[in-house]
Structure 1
Amino acid sequence: MKENFDFLMPSVNFFGKGVIKKIGDRAKMLNMKKPLIVTGKILRGLENGPVTQTLASLDKVGISYAIYDSVEANPKIHNIKEAKAVYLDNHCDSIITVGGGSAHDCGKGVGIILTNGDDITKLAGIETLDNPLPPLMAVNTTAGTASELTRHCVITNEETKLKFVVVSWRNIPLVSFNDPMLMLDIPASMTAATGMDTFVQAIEPYVSTNRNEITDGQCIQAIKLVEESLREAVANGHNIEARTKMVEAEMLGGMAFNNADLGYVHAMAHQLGGQYDAPHGVCCAMLLPIVEKYNIVAAPERFAELAKIMGENTEGLSTRDAADLSIKAMRQMCDDVNIPRSIKSIGAKPADFEMMAENALKDGNAFSNPRKGTKEEIVRLFQEAYDQK
Structure 2
Amino acid sequence: DSVLNQLGVVNKVSELLAKSGIASVTYDGTAPNPTVENVEAGLALLKEHQCDCVISLGGGSPHDCAKGIALVAANGGKIADYEGVDRSEHPQLPLIAINTTAGTASEMTRFCIITDTARHIKMAIVDKNVTPILSVNDSELMIGMPKGLTAATGMDALTHAVEAYVSTAANPITDACALKAVTMISESLRKVVENGGDTAARENMAYAQFLAGMAFNNASLGYVHAMAHQLGGFYNLPHGVCNAVLLPHVQAYNIQAAAGRLKDIAQAMGVDVSAMNDEQGAQACIEEIRKIAKDVGIPAGLKELGVKEEDFKTLAENALKDACAITNPVQGSESDVIEIFRQAM
TM-score normalized by structure 1?
0.87
Q: CA RMSD in A?
A: 0.9
Counterpart CA distance in 1 for 2:75 and 2:194 is 44
Give, in angstroms, the shift of residue 61 of structure 1.
1.5
Give, in angstroms, the shift of residue 55 of structure 1.
1.9
Q: Which residues of structure 2 form unaligned runs of 5+?
A: none
Is residue 2:63 matched to residue 1:63?
Answer: no
Counterpart CA distance in 1 for 2:229 and 2:3 is 24
Counterpart CA distance in 2 for 1:217 and 1:53 is 37
Aligned twin of 1:310: 269
Counterpart CA distance in 1 for 2:6 and 2:111 is 28
Counterpart CA distance in 2 for 1:113 and 1:377 is 36
Aligned twin of 2:180: 221
Give, in angstroms, the shift of residue 299 of structure 1.
1.4
Give, in angstroms, the shift of residue 329 of structure 1.
0.6
Deviation digits for residues 183-231 of structure 1 (CA, Å, limit 9, x no counterpart)? 1111000000001001101111001000111111101110111011100
Q: Which has the higher helix share?
A: 2
AA paired with 1:178? Answer: N
Aligned twin of 1:10: none
Aligned twin of 2:295: 336
Aligned twin of 1:263: 222
Is residue 2:317 matched to residue 1:368?
Answer: no
AA paired with 1:222? Answer: A
Partner of 2:129, secondary structure, is helix
Q: Which of 269, 283, 291 lines up with 2:250 in the alignment?
A: 291
Partner of 1:192, secondary structure, is helix
Give, in angstroms, the shift of residue 54 of structure 1.
1.9
AA paired with 2:277? Answer: S
Q: Which of 40, 44, 48 lines up with 2:5 in the alignment?
A: 44
Give, in angstroms, the shift of residue 116 of structure 1.
2.3
Partner of 1:68, secondary structure, is coil
Counterpart CA distance in 2 for 1:254 and 1:53 is 27
Counterpart CA distance in 2 for 1:118 and 1:130 is 12
Deviation digits for residues 57-111 of structure 1 (CA, Å, limit 9, x no counterpart)? 2123121101111111110000000001100111111100011000000001111
Deviation digits for residues 316-348 of structure 1 (CA, Å, limit 9, x no counterpart)? 222211211000111001001010011112211
Counterpart CA distance in 2 for 1:193 and 1:323 is 23
Counterpart CA distance in 2 for 1:153 and 1:315 is 40
Give, in angstroms, the shift of residue 240 of structure 1.
0.4
Partner of 1:165, secondary structure, is strand
Deviation digits for residues 214-266 of structure 1 (CA, Å, limit 9, x no counterpart)? 11110111011101110011001011001000000011000110000000000
Aligned twin of 1:92: 51
Counterpart CA distance in 1 for 2:15 and 2:256 is 53
Partner of 1:138, secondary structure, is strand
Aligned twin of 1:211: 170
Give, in angstroms, the shift of residue 161 of structure 1.
1.1
Mean CA deviation greater in 308-317 or 236-245: 308-317
Deviant stretches of 4+, over 3 Å: none
Aligned twin of 1:385: 344
Aligned twin of 1:73: 32
Aligned twin of 1:22: none
AA paired with 1:324? Answer: Q
Is residue 2:137 matched to residue 1:178?
Answer: yes
Counterpart CA distance in 1 for 2:15 and 2:86 is 36
Counterpart CA distance in 1 for 2:204 and 2:228 is 25
Contact 2:39 2:79 in 1 (8 A): no
Aligned twin of 2:312: 353
Contact 2:114 2:124 in 1 (8 A): yes
